[in-house]
Amino acid sequence: MPLSKTKIIQNFNRAAAAYDELASLQRKIGKSILRNVAQSAFAEHDSPRIADLGCGTGELLKALADEGFENLTGFDISEAMLAEAQKKCGSLPSLRLVQSDIESLPTDKDTFDVVISNAAIQWCSTQKVIEEIRRVLKPCGRLWINTFGPATLRQWRDVFGDFGYDAVHDFDSTDKIESALHRTGFERIEIVSYEVDVTFNSVAAMFDSVRKIGAGAAQANPSRNHISKPDLRAIKRRFETTLKAEGQLMLTYEVIKIASES
């Protein structure tokens, strides 16, 4: 089902202030991108131009700057996320922050040596984002992406689905992502996926981990994801029952890591 850009912006604008506190998984998997860039980019370029697509609060940009990288550009669709990034990274002289849909970047062809993206492209058309990355990457440029696959939030999807709601949108599979990369001309493609189970001691903490980082429903059809208050109470009771029976609640994330070059 198509996603609403307006809802995505609204969700992340609301989530911006609390994002760093709650997005522990996103922060953890982002460290692999930092390691990859630090190990590779300096060997190929004295000062590589790096773009972070869906940069959010600027966590990776700040980490890259701390590693000595300059010529950094962060793109994000959320004005509030960029405001948080500005607070975190505003003193960096060679950093640009640009409000933009990453499916259509306001930059020239062959601009960047490195493109990174952490936990962002799942909110976009994979094909459009890959085409745009290919356009802005220089020849022999490097790409590192982390995103989420179809097994993500399956417990959330199952319970909400029992009540007739599409609370989780369709995440693209590794096969679909790899096909998009091949069609767009990327080479030396490496894709791995694995599952991470995040546990919670309360229903409120589990809901916060999704809703308060902007990952709530953003489907374009409001009739399929507008949850009535009685149904929401019933859904929470279902999770409470699971918590009492098992002593914890669990949400699964399928992490997909992508590396390639143009």
pLDDT of residue 222 exceeding 80: no
Domain 5-261: CATH architecture, name and number where available: 3-Layer(aba) Sandwich (3.40)
Question: What is the residue extent of each domain of the chain?
Answer: 5-261
**pLDDT value at position 46?**
72
What's the full length of the chain, in residues? 262
**pLDDT value at position 240?**
97
Worst-scoring range by mean pLDDT, 7-11, 47-51, 257-261? 7-11
pLDDT of residue 82 exceeding 70: yes
Q: Are strands 137-148 and 249-261 parallel, antiparallel or unpaired?
A: antiparallel
pLDDT of residue 187 exceeding 80: yes
Chain segment 28-81, per-residue pLDDT in tens: 999 999 999 988 866 566 789 999 999 999 999 999 999 889 999 999 999 999
Predicted confidence band of residue 158 (pLDDT cuts 50, 70, 90): very high
- Which residues are CB-neighbours of 66 under 8 A, at least 6 positions away? none
| Entry pTM | 0.93
